[in-house]
Each structure stands twice: as structure tokens, then as C-alpha cells.
Amino acid sequence: MNSTVAAVILAAGGSTRFGRPKQLLPWGGRPLVTHIADIAWSAGLDPVVVVIGSAAESVAPLLASRPFWIVHNYRWETGLSSSLNVAIAALQPKVEAALFIPVDQPLISPRLLQRFVETWQTTGAGIVVPQTPEGQRGTPVLFAREFFSELAALSGDVGGRALFAHHADRIATLRVTDERLLSDVDTPEAFETLRVSASSGQQDLDLGEIRGLICDMDGVLWRGTSPLPGLMNFFALIRDLGLEHVMVTNNSSHTPAQYVAKLAGMGVVTTEDHILSSAVATAHYVAEKKPGAAVYALGGSGVMEALRMSGLAADDGTQTVDFVVMGWDRELTWRKLATATRHILAGAPLVATNPDLTFPLEDALAPGNGAQIAALEAATGIKATVVGKPAPLLYQQALQQMGTAANETLVIGDRLDTDILGGIRLGLPTALVLTGISQRDELSESPIRPTAVFDDLPALVRAWRLTESRSEKRVTDG
């Protein structure tokens, strides 16, 4: 999502009908207020503003370690409008719209919240309201900045619905086929019913439904130059099940041919059409924006080869260029940064292959492309369009390449903040393997929740083989 859309979590109410603070109810191993705010953050909404009031002394510490803005509503007893007032006052001018989310809707998902933003972007509407198949409107609700002043002027126990009648022509409807996603918690009985329903209907990861794989490489298939355990059995599984698969990487410094050769050296035979690097995806993105564009590029051979293969002209920086492309550059110099800065300030969009702040060497971490992007963004005041994980473009290209749907495509990765978050934001099931960057002790504190966690590839393969054998047994017994 390129637009600046904030999330406002309305968590200040006294829960008088419920009998105890709804903000503190346990959901998925964490308090409800943390769960809802984590969902909003995982959807890519920025900033995530949490308005607290009742039970603030208990709620605030739960959010302290999260990347959220905490806003205190000391007038929460005067009604819902007071929370809207303080939230609007906290939003910076750069925020173009805000999605207002009640704290008591535990079944909302990152993908649902993203659909609000997509509807706003594509329709040009100022208000986006969800609607069930029966025609019932619900929450959350998105309001564009043009309505912020009216929201801030509301008083009493009145919410944003007060604007609907006067602005019917500015409302877009978001169809939500599963009305449970919009369910809220008004009573303990309703909460228990919703919790039981969610638990009984939840399948952490149904491997039998997977038809395609988007698999990270470094930290999953190998570390440095050494193959990780289970590599050959993993590719045997892919072959045996006929799975569509694309191996992806945020590393832009190598070409697909080099990755094919690296896998061949580890005993795995594959082809370049199964490799998608952030450099290749970036070149596709730029070529779609302007075929044959002149590009000033920073990066290694992977970036330069990808630009050439997409018919883009790599410029030495002496002429006017259409785009500046930033890939991970082991030979980055002040002069390269200065040239890129000049072109960006002259109007050339900055497109970055990936946002990784660090790059894993065999025995240490080194500065990654994200650190280089930060230098250009600081010098120009211009935000980069990022193609690699967790931005959606890389995975979207992988899905298009395989022809599989999101719900039947599994993302396998070793980093919560890139591999897993990228999958979550597109509504893909995700599997974290603990052979790379992210470790098990991070999971309890992270706002990013993978669908499943495996110690390594052998554990994933065993689980998948067991699923297949059970499926075959059911067919035989049936």
C-alpha cells in the first residue's frame, strides 16, 4: 500500500455491558487489544494509533514494546466521540485516510483491512463501509482526510455513522462474504461463542490444500555456501506432489542463473523460471511503468542483468534518467549516492529492490539494502517504492508466475519481518523455519504470527508426508 493510511484502534470504552475490560480478554495467547493492534500493523497500516481510556493503567504496559502510538482519552466516559476527537488530533498531516477499528472484533484479518484501503484507492470514495451478504453495514470504517474535521467535531456518544446520511454519495461498500469477520463482542456469552467458533473452525496449516510454494532461499535452503539439512528431501517432496514453486530472494546481487548454479552445486536441478529475485521483480515493475526506461542503478550483477533482460537502459548517471533503482551494492560509494540523490531530487522515482536492513554472512550480519535506502531517503526526503518482501510486488509476481491462488500457496521463510509478514499481508498461509534469522523466543513478543512454525526443513517434510499418507488412507478406507 503506497498511500498513507492510519489505523485507529478504539480501545477506551468501559465495557459496562460486558462486566470487565474487553481490552484485556485473552485471544490467541495475547490480550485482545494487542491482538487487534498487531493485526492492523501486520496489514501495513501506518501509524497504528491505539486510543485507551478505561483500564489504561493495565492496557498501556501491554502495548509499550509494540510499534504503536498510544493516545490517552481522559474523557472516555463522555462517549465514543471523545476517542474520535483525540485520534484525529494525533494524526499527522501526511495521513491521507484512517481506518477506525473497534477493539472487540477479534476475527478481523490483515487481508480484510487491506481490502478497505484497496476499495478507497480504486473507487475514490471518502468513506468505505463493510456490508454483509444480507445488506447489514458494520465496522471497521475507513474515512478519508476530507472527513477528519467533521469527525473531530462530533460530541457525546456518537460515532462516525453520524456522517453517513449527509455523505451517502461519498460512501463505497466493501462486500464481506463471511459475516463472522465483522462480529463484535458485547457480552461474555458472545465472546465465548466467538472464541469456540474460531477455535473449531481454525486450521493452523492444512498442507493437503497447498498447490504452490513461495520459498525463500538463504536461511531456508542454505546458509552462506552450505546446504541446510533436508534440502534434497524437500525438493523430492516438491517433485512427488507436483507442486508449483518459485524460490524467491530479497538478495538482488546475483542473477537467476547464478542461483541455479548454486543449487546444482548442492545436488538440486532446477531452472531459471523457478527463481525470482528482488532484482528481477524490480526490473519487471519498472518496465511495466515505462518500457525502455533509462535507469540509474546501484547494485551488483543481479540488478544490472535484470534491467538488461527487461529491456531497460542502465545509465551511468550523466544523463537524465526516468528511475533510480537501489539494489544491495557491495561497492557503494559516496559518489554513487550523490549521483542518485541528484536524479531523485530532479524527479526520478526511487525504486528499491528490498528493505532488508541487514545481510546474513556465514558468521555475522552486515549492512543490507535497507541501510543504503535510508541514506537516500534521508538525503532527499523521498520515500522509496520497495519491491521486495514484505512489500507485495515480489509475491504477487510469484503467484502470477505459478498461476495459483493465495489460499493454496504456502510461503516458507526464515524471517518474520520480511518472508512471513509479506505472506500475511497478501493473505497467504505462512511457515517459519528456525534455521535462519528469526528464532522461537521471538514469537511470543512479535506482532507477526506465522501460520505454522517448524524447526527445519526435515520437520516440514515429515509433517507434509504424514498429511499425504493420512489423506491416502482416507481415500483407501473410503
Residues assigned a catalytic role: 216, 218
Alpha-helix runs per DSSP H in 218-333: 231-241, 256-265, 278-289, 301-309
Count CB neighbours of 471 within 10 A.
Answer: 12
Going by the DSSP 8-state scheme, the letter that residue 162 receives in this structure is G
Contact status, residue 406 vs residue 225, Cβ threshold 8 Å? no
- Measured between alpha carbons, how far is 321 from 308 in angstroms, rounded to an integer? 15
Q: What does the block give as the cell for 468?
A: 499425504
Question: How far is 243 from 215, CA to CA, in rounded Å?
Answer: 12
Q: Which three cell numbers stand for residue 81?
A: 466521540
Task: Give the pairing of strands 222-223 and 226-227.
Answer: antiparallel
| DSSP H or E segment with residue 336 | helix 334-345
Please provide the DSSP assignment of 270-285 as one string.
--GGGEEEHHHHHHHH
Rounded-to-integer distance, Cα 254 and Cα 259, Å: 7
Q: Kindly compute the dihedral angle of the four CA atoms of residues 60, 63, 64, 66, in this order, to the nearest 10 degrees.
A: -160
Distance of CA 180 to the CA centre of its chain: 22
